[in-house]
A and B are shown apart, each in its own frame.
Chain A
């Protein structure tokens, strides 16, 4: 829907709207990192680093400062550094977040900031976990559009309302923050987990898709949606703001509606 924007004024008084910016404060932090390297020791241990950081810095900047200036062996995944690639989900002060989206100034810097690998997946080294079980669950829910009948020869239409129906779950970046915050997943690695259900939701509620029944069948399994205990950890953990628990509830309802 293209709405014509108001033509802006050629000149405005900036003092009236104000512009961002100003002096950037500087402060010291203690970063307490859970270290693990089976090449060195089978035991994991905490290690503290004292760092001088800026008000615009994120936890990822602090990790880079350690790696680049103090200890090059500290290992973690990262790529885009602004919350879209999903590489750097980790447990920061006991909560799952993306290191690149967590500003240090938003944490309590008077105490050590703890950083450890996400839970429920095998730790490989420091903050790096084995992601394969996570992607395995994702692949099992048929995360692709299945449309039966003839392929349209031209453009296929979808109403804005139908498109809106599954908008929220298309935002998923597969960072695993939700799945690895789920207490059910911690104790039962067989559970599909929130991320796989979110990605099933994305297709089940897409009007163009014809395989919803098959996905509901898969998720009606004993390791499927019924394992969810509605603790909302996943919704709180999602760095993309997806209403994960709501999506799971909608899938549960769809399973029930189907069996009637």
Chain B
């Protein structure tokens, strides 16, 4: 058994992981594990921008940004966290600039800003220019800049090391009132080296999860093939709750049929959506800010146009993103990559033809619950000393039930920095927790089971059926019946998953084996998403129930918390336990959400 010892181990090398590593690496002995190479992470696919109220091109302030974030999340946002994010956004942008990020500039040389969905002047009066950007490759530039600074600071990376387990121990602890409970503590991470097939133990005082989202639960998605929710799945299997998993964001403008992202910046720069009648339909759904309404509203409006027969194309199953009224030079300067995608993948010339688009699964608002220091909660009352999470894997919760565009690049920078800083500070004062006696036993069993399995089912077939049912039943519109269908299908897929076999039995670069393990995480997460959605009998943000079309603050102004618990049952599903957590309010009272 190969054991490595670090003060801090970070799992994931996207924006959140590398932002954490830059802080942690300068304070403590730090290692970063990634299942890819750092520059392959999906932060690099983010396009449009990162919002901060710099007020470089028009009046703005971070209080307006806070309000927009909370309203955008349909009031399920923890308001203390949103305030921190909007306030620290300004330094987060300036930090990146100092690290070398090549932002687009105004004629005076200031960082330029543009409009984005749901970001408004003075509490919803009109769209505001708040998104700092680098053409339509802002995420690429953030990922590259953070990696460059990791190189500068000699951050130690373990590339193509998959995290497969979190090592925790439980100790009896006493509450103030004298009662006792089991306190989890973190001891390290188990990791699989793709090149050799060997398992490694990384013992650490602090562990930071920054492993990204789980978009591959769906078929039509903007997410990378590798976004299989590993971090969420590992935490869940170790008894850590998952918060608000019913809330998934569907980005309005995925390339029709492919799901490849076309940035909201296309609409921020003046692009509009049209139906088969050539009508700019968003004027009907969001009269004030129209095409720049938040993503949940635009995605639903598009799906509704298609449902009511105003879709385009031979199957009338998409709408059009129209950029034809924009100057080609403006498109080339501000939107070069996404217009290239339209040309490459659909053969459409955006200068002269509108681009076929339809909503695509984009972002998981829920995740591993943390406080504003990035510390992970083991339940509503207690955090786990030394365990941190940041970015899409986490739920702090700044996005509530619907994330605003650009707030994810912001989230990874603000909370990545916080998690890295607090993880290193904690490691300075803490001792190593002793490793469990056989730290590899469960991971080894998991891998052996897959490798030796001689069933008849193929991984890819099960994954396809999972993605099909999630697209059909858990997308923009949901009802009790469709969700129940998804839950039932997932149960069936679990049975099939017990009867798999893989063909690659080797040790070297065995991606066949890892795809099987990843499918296990996807099945767990799809189930938690669906069962959580079933319980939430209301419509809020990204979760829209046609059988309960209104928001119901009385019953549901609270976070969903789902635990893996063999002794419990939730919505008739054994092995899951349901709880809720109050939403943190500071100064904004819930209002009706209109744009």
> Nearest-CB distance from A57 to chain B (Å)?
10
- Structural contact, B270 and A6, CB atoms closer than 8 A: yes
Q: Among the listed A67, A79, A147, A206, which residue makes an inter-chain contact with B40, where contact means beta carbons less than 8 Å apart?
A: A79
- Which residues of B have CB within 8 Å of A21? 256, 312-314, 318, 346, 356
User: Which residues of chain A from 58 to 78 have any CB-CB distance to chain B below 8 Å in the complex?
Assistant: 67-69, 71-73, 75, 77-78
- Structural contact, B506 and A151, CB atoms closer than 8 A: no
- Structural contact, B151 and A157, CB atoms closer than 8 A: no
- Structural contact, B506 and A22, CB atoms closer than 8 A: no
| A202-226 interface bits toward B, Cβ cutoff 8 Å, 1 = contact, 0 = none | 0100101100000000000000000
**Chain A residue with the shortest CB-CB distance to B109:** A157
**Chain A residue with the shortest CB-CB distance to B134:** A170
- Structural contact, B503 and A174, CB atoms closer than 8 A: no
| B95-123 interface bits toward A, Cβ cutoff 8 Å, 1 = contact, 0 = none | 00111101111111111111000000000
> Nearest-CB distance from A174 to chain B (Å)?
5
Q: Does A47 touch B at the CB level, under 8 Å? A: no
- Say yes or no: A84-B140 contact (C-beta < 8 A), given A18-B353, A124-B509, A144-B100: yes
> Nearest-CB distance from A55 to chain B (Å)?
9
Q: Does B224 touch A at the CB level, under 8 Å? A: yes
- Structural contact, B270 and A19, CB atoms closer than 8 A: no
A19-B114 Cα distance, complex, nearest whole Å: 28
- Structural contact, A56 and B325, CB atoms closer than 8 A: no
- Structural contact, A20 and B109, CB atoms closer than 8 A: no
- Which residues of B have CB within 8 Å of A101? 344
Chain B: interface residue count, which band? 35 or more
- Structural contact, A19 and B354, CB atoms closer than 8 A: yes
> Nearest-CB distance from A100 to chain B (Å)?
10
Q: Does A42 touch B at the CB level, under 8 Å? A: no
Q: Does B348 touch A at the CB level, under 8 Å? A: yes
Q: Does A10 touch B at the CB level, under 8 Å? A: yes
**B274-282, B418-426, B469-477, B551-559 - interface stretch:** B274-282
| B488-530 interface bits toward A, Cβ cutoff 8 Å, 1 = contact, 0 = none | 0000000000000011101111111000000000000000000
A171-B135 Cα distance, complex, nearest whole Å: 10
Q: Does B283 touch A at the CB level, under 8 Å? A: yes
- Structural contact, A10 and B330, CB atoms closer than 8 A: no
> Nearest-CB distance from B467 to chain A (Å)?
12
- Structural contact, B503 and A72, CB atoms closer than 8 A: yes
User: Which residues of chain A from 96 to 130 have any CB-CB distance to chain B below 8 Å in the complex?
Assistant: 101, 103, 124-126, 128
- Structural contact, A17 and B352, CB atoms closer than 8 A: yes
A120-B333 Cα distance, complex, nearest whole Å: 35
> Nearest-CB distance from A127 to chain B (Å)?
10
- Which residues of B have CB within 8 Å of A5? 269-270, 325-326, 330
A67-B502 Cα distance, complex, nearest whole Å: 11
- Which residues of B have CB within 8 Å of A125? 508-509
- Which residues of A have CB within 8 Å of B502? 72
Q: Does A257 touch B at the CB level, under 8 Å? A: no
Question: Which of B42, B98, B355 has the most C-beta atoms of chain A within 10 angstroms of its own C-beta?
Answer: B98
Q: Does B57 touch A at the CB level, under 8 Å? A: yes
A56-B257 Cα distance, complex, nearest whole Å: 10
A209-B101 Cα distance, complex, nearest whole Å: 12
User: Which residues of chain B from 233 to 286 have any CB-CB distance to chain A below 8 Å in the complex?
Assistant: 256-258, 260-261, 269-270, 272, 274, 276-280, 283
> Nearest-CB distance from B55 to chain A (Å)?
11
- Structural contact, B506 and A73, CB atoms closer than 8 A: yes
> Nearest-CB distance from A34 to chain B (Å)?
15
> Nearest-CB distance from A210 to chain B (Å)?
12
A257-B164 Cα distance, complex, nearest whole Å: 53
- Structural contact, B278 and A12, CB atoms closer than 8 A: yes
- Structural contact, A6 and B140, CB atoms closer than 8 A: no
Q: Does B300 touch A at the CB level, under 8 Å? A: no
A154-B356 Cα distance, complex, nearest whole Å: 43
- Structural contact, A69 and B458, CB atoms closer than 8 A: yes
- Structural contact, B353 and A17, CB atoms closer than 8 A: yes
- Say yes or no: A19-B353 contact (C-beta < 8 A), given A160-B109, A174-B39: yes
- Say yes or no: A22-B512 contact (C-beta < 8 A), given A1-B106, A101-B344, A160-B105: no
| A35-63 interface bits toward B, Cβ cutoff 8 Å, 1 = contact, 0 = none | 00111100000000000000010000000
Q: Does B548 touch A at the CB level, under 8 Å? A: no
Q: Among the listed B137, B326, B508, which residue makes an inter-chain contact with A39, where contact means beta carbons less than 8 Å apart?
A: B508
Question: Which of B54, B97, B258, B355 has the most C-beta atoms of chain A within 10 angstroms of its own C-beta?
Answer: B97
- The 10 A-B residue pairs with the shortest CB-CB distance in the complex, in nearest-first order: A5-B270, A145-B100, A68-B460, A157-B109, A72-B503, A21-B313, A73-B504, A20-B348, A72-B512, A144-B152
Interface residues of B (CB under 8 A from A): 36-37, 39-42, 44-45, 54, 56-57, 94, 97-100, 102-114, 129, 134, 137, 140-141, 144, 148-149, 151-152, 195, 224-226, 256-258, 260-261, 269-270, 272, 274, 276-280, 283, 312-314, 318, 320, 322, 324-327, 330, 333, 337, 341-342, 344-348, 352-356, 458-460, 502-504, 506-512
Additional A-B contact list (9), CB under 8 Å, known A11-B280, A124-B195: A1-B112, A17-B353, A22-B314, A37-B506, A39-B507, A72-B458, A79-B42, A145-B148, A158-B109
A-B contact pairs, 29 of them (CB 8 A): A1-B105, A3-B327, A5-B269, A5-B270, A9-B280, A14-B312, A20-B347, A21-B356, A38-B508, A39-B506, A67-B512, A72-B502, A80-B45, A81-B260, A82-B345, A85-B42, A87-B36, A103-B345, A128-B509, A145-B148, A147-B98, A157-B108, A157-B110, A160-B104, A160-B109, A163-B105, A173-B39, A203-B100, A206-B102
